[in-house]
Amino acid sequence: MAGQERIEKPRLEKLDDLIKRGINPYPYKFYRTHTNLEAVELFRKLTETDPAATLPDISLAGRITAARFMGKAAFFDIRDGSGKIQLFLRRDDLGDEKYELLHDLDLGDFLGALGKLFKTRSGEITLEVADFTVLSKSILPLPEKWHGLVDVEKRYRQRYLDLISNDEVKRIFLTRSQIITAIRRFMDDRGFIEVETPVLQPTFGGALARPFTTYHHSLDQNLYLRIALELYLKRLIIGGFDKVYEISRVFRNEGISVKHNPEFTMMESYEAYADYNDVMQMTEDMVSTVAAEVLGASEINFGGEIIKLEPPWRRLPLRQALMEKCGIDFMDYPSADTLRARMESMGMKVDPLKDRGRLIDELLSTYVEPELKQPTFIIDYPIEMSPLAKKHRDDPRLVERFEAFIGAMELANSFSELNDPREQRERFASQKSENAKLIMLSKLASEMPEIEQIDDDFITAMEHGMPPTGGLGMGIDRLVMLLTDKQSIREVILFPQLKTK
DSSP state of 364: I
Q: What is the mean pLDDT of residues 177-201?
A: 97
Q: pLDDT at position 5, please?
A: 64
Distance from C-alpha of 243 to C-alpha of 238, rounded to nearest angstrom: 11
In the structure, what pLDDT confidence band is assigned to residue 445 with cuts at 50, 70 and 90?
Answer: very low
Determine contact, residues 79/4, Cβ cutoff 8 Å. no
DSSP state of 417: B
Distance from C-alpha of 171 to C-alpha of 420, rounded to nearest angstrom: 47
Q: pLDDT at position 255, please?
A: 84
Burial of 54 (0-12, 13-18, 19+ CB in 10 A): exposed
Burial of 484 (0-12, 13-18, 19+ CB in 10 A): buried
> Strand pairing of 376-382 and 314-317?
parallel
Q: pLDDT at position 435, please?
A: 60
Residue 29: CB atoms within 10 Å: 7
In the structure, what pLDDT confidence band is assigned to residue 8 with cuts at 50, 70 and 90?
Answer: confident
Q: Is 95 helix (H, G, I), strand (E, B) or coil?
A: coil
Q: What is the mean pLDDT of residues 278-304?
A: 97
Distance from C-alpha of 49 to C-alpha of 169, rounded to nearest angstrom: 37
Q: pLDDT at position 145, please?
A: 47
Q: What is the mean pLDDT of residues 175-186?
A: 98
- Which range among 85-94, 261-270, 425-434, 468-477 shows the weakest confidence by mean pLDDT? 425-434
Q: Is 487 helix (H, G, I), strand (E, B) or coil?
A: coil
In 3-state terms, the chain is what percent helix, strand and coil (to 5)? 40, 25, 35
Using alpha carbons, select from 268, 293, 301 the residue that is nearest to residue 282.
Answer: 268
Distance from C-alpha of 241 to C-alpha of 255, rounded to nearest angstrom: 35
Using alpha carbons, select from 270, 122, 114 the residue that is nearest to residue 194.
Answer: 270
Q: What's the predicted TM-score (pTM) here?
A: 0.90
Determine contact, residues 80/60, Cβ cutoff 8 Å. yes
Q: Is 267 helix (H, G, I), strand (E, B) or coil?
A: strand
Alpha-helix runs per DSSP H in 296-391: 318-326, 336-345, 356-363
Q: pLDDT at position 209, please?
A: 85
Give the CA-trace dihedral at 493, 156, 78, 58, to 10 degrees: 30
What pLDDT, in 10s, does the model give residues 206-229?
A: 888 899 999 999 999 999 999 999
Q: pLDDT at position 446, please?
A: 43
What pLDDT, in 10s, does the model give residues 365-414?
A: 999 999 999 999 999 999 989 888 999 999 999 999 999 999 999 999 99
Distance from C-alpha of 154 to C-alpha of 164, rounded to nearest angstrom: 13
Q: What is the mean pLDDT of residues 141-152?
A: 66
Distance from C-alpha of 378 to C-alpha of 276, rounded to nearest angstrom: 12
Distance from C-alpha of 71 to C-alpha of 93, rounded to nearest angstrom: 14
Using alpha carbons, select from 151, 302, 301, 258 the residue that is nearest to residue 490.
Answer: 258
Distance from C-alpha of 269 to C-alpha of 467, rounded to nearest angstrom: 15
Q: What is the mean pLDDT of residues 75-101?
A: 96
Determine contact, residues 207/253, Cβ cutoff 8 Å. no
Distance from C-alpha of 235 to C-alpha of 225, rounded to nearest angstrom: 18
State the chain's mean pLDDT as an integer. 92
In the structure, what pLDDT confidence band is assigned to residue 442 with cuts at 50, 70 and 90?
Answer: low
What pLDDT, in 10s, does the model give residues 475-494?
A: 999 999 999 999 999 999 99
- The CA-atom distances, in angstroms, between 417 and each of 53, 235, 363, 402, 421 are 66, 12, 24, 12, 11
Helices 476-484 + 167-189 axis angle, to 10: 120
In the structure, what pLDDT confidence band is assigned to residue 453 with cuts at 50, 70 and 90?
Answer: low
**Is residue 119 within a helix (H) or strand (E), and if so which, with residue range?**
strand 110-119
> Strand pairing of 73-80 and 221-225?
unpaired
* Separation of first and last alpha carbons in the chain: 16
Strand partners, 413: 403, 473
Q: What is the mean pLDDT of residues 237-253?
A: 97
Contacts of 5 (CB under 8 A, 6+ apart): none
The answer, yes or no, to whether residue 176 has pLDDT greater than 50, is: yes
- The CA-atom distances, in angstroms, between 176 and each of 139, 167, 260, 278 are 31, 14, 17, 26
Contacts of 456 (CB under 8 A, 6+ apart): 203
Distance from C-alpha of 286 to C-alpha of 186, rounded to nearest angstrom: 7
